[in-house]
Structure 1
């Protein structure tokens, strides 16, 4: 009977000691001990507005706006491509789209979840997009993960990963 109580106490102590760590290991804590939070409604609206501005600026080939919205350290991974694009290549892609008479027909984000870690926010989205280029129309349903970093009071896009959703 005594041994059972000792084992029970040992297991309880171990469990209590491990439980606080489980929150850290489940992703609720960032590496610096900062807990991620859901953004306020105002922050969410600000992030969604900036994100939409990035996408529209790309398809409108608004180089001036893109240069403000995209960080110098920007990286993007596009579906089916092994090469990752940096800021210069991303800007060149917008230019190329415009040169081929590219036009954004529709853009919709039916679902977006946001995790905020202080001055960093990660947006996970489902994306529906229709565009035209050289007279050909193409519609895509994909997923997007985008990273925004608040710099000098402004959200700047520092990374994006878009996949086919398959």
Structure 2
């Protein structure tokens, strides 16, 4: 499916974060979204809508085939983040939420996607920082992205760095 050697993560240092705001920090490799992955997502989320799970019926739809759930695209964000971004001096990090999510284009089964990660902001919190990330997921053959999200994470500094 997506067998390849892991990419080295970009390691971010606490002191460098403010200067990185507004910069694209990473772009992933292409990642296949096939029908098996779409079906597995449908099974886990109990969203069995035919446009995702019935290739024959979906072939007659305006999309010409099945499309991935928008939330499948969104659910890949933590994978891309972990693959691409690492921190120096962090005890742990947490997903904190999302401010805005849009799915501008439908994602056809068999497409390849990749993520672009931009640091949107840094807010100091007790013991760490809250980071906002602009995440854009594009498909290889589409002019508009399939997912655009502002994600919030919290990183907590190791005790020696507090």
TM-score, scaled to structure 2: 0.29
- Which structure has the highest helix share of the two? 1
> For the pair shown, which has the larger CA radius of gyration, 1 or 2?
1
TM-score (norm 1): 0.28
